[in-house]
Structure 1
Amino acid sequence: GGLVGNVLAIAEVLGGSVLVAGMAALLITLVSTFIVLAATYRGGAALRRMAMVASTGYAVPGTMLAIGVLIFAGSVDRSFAAVTGDGRASLLLGGVGILILAYLVRFQAVGYGAVLSGIRRLPDNMMGASRVLGNGFTSSLRRVILPLLSGSMVAGGLLVFVDVMKELPMTLLLRPFDFETLATYTYQFAKDEMLEEAALPALMIVIAGLLPVILMNRMLRRTD
């Protein structure tokens, strides 16, 4: 009974971890792609500088970033409660949304760097050549640029996924009650020196980090 309960608990934690990491990876990849495309094809120097500033969260300690996100989320929730007239109304605090927001700020640099490196490998005249052939701007993005960027987008998403899976300080501070990730679940046992119980979720974090690396290696072999 104890073993079955342990396995079921870890399976539930794994499911929550994968869901949150997947949502964060998808959102960060989409936002990063939008920023890179806007800065490259529609923006001047000011927008490019803003894009670089938006990617500095990786350099800030997770605990400090979590406190900043908490202050921002509290302000948003107070404004939301004032608008709705419901003092208990909440958009971010107490839910998974605040975690996703924190991951977005923290790991934006990872997704941005991957997509930016991909677009820098494209010929400078790629967009111009597509426009000369009669494609509009949106059509050129959809038919030419995005397909060529897809590998970099997937790589960036996988890197973000791994980072989110093993992120601990922000998750400990911002997670909803009764919500665990593999990192927090492992930490709860490790801090009490229950190393046997911590071993399996810790191993799953390692496996979660290895699988995307294997996928990326296969992708690189196909492109060679």
Structure 2
Amino acid sequence: MLRSKKGYATALLASSVFLGACASTSGLDGINDATINGSHAQAQGAMGAGAGAVTGAVIGNQMGSSKAGAAIGALVGGAAGYMRGRSLDIKAAQSVAYDARQAGYQAEVNTAVMQNPQTNQSQQVFTGYRVLIPASEIRNQDPEATRILQKTAELAIQADTEVVASGPANLRDSVLTMLNLPAGQAQYVPSNDTKVAVSVMPRRG
């Protein structure tokens, strides 16, 4: 029983390293024509949890508690799978940012370095995307502005992220309509800026 508790503590420690080990954040200018294939973090997290549960059950059985082992494996496997998914989200966000820059807008992708609890190696994960569009283009419903906002919305949906937009108060309805996101996934914060900033970031909790 003592060995089982020790193994469980080790797994929880590894998971806490994953959850709290953001080392740095930086904008990326890399160009990558990746396609957006759905919520990478969710899918990879689910697969990681499933595989981890099986492996953990085997290990736990050797420690005298297969159920505890499965729980530990699911926890660590899910965390590692989530990280793999967020790594794939980087490529998807880079693709959208590239399109935005080609249209003449400022865009950046932010990442953080975290420690993978399975491999104990550092790994870059997606932490956000941001694009700036002149308010006048939103007001005039410029086709390029509309297209980039729609692609930003697609990224938010498929990466399962939140969207926070800010800009002139009278453009709130226009921006939210162009994004066309489900209720609760996007919010608009009035500001005095001459550009509309649209930020995409992973959901909190």
Q: Normalising to structure 2: TM-score of the pair?
A: 0.29
More strand by share: 2
Q: Normalising to structure 1: TM-score of the pair?
A: 0.28
More helix by share: 1
**Greater RCO, 1 or 2 (C-alpha within 8 Å, sep 6+):** 1
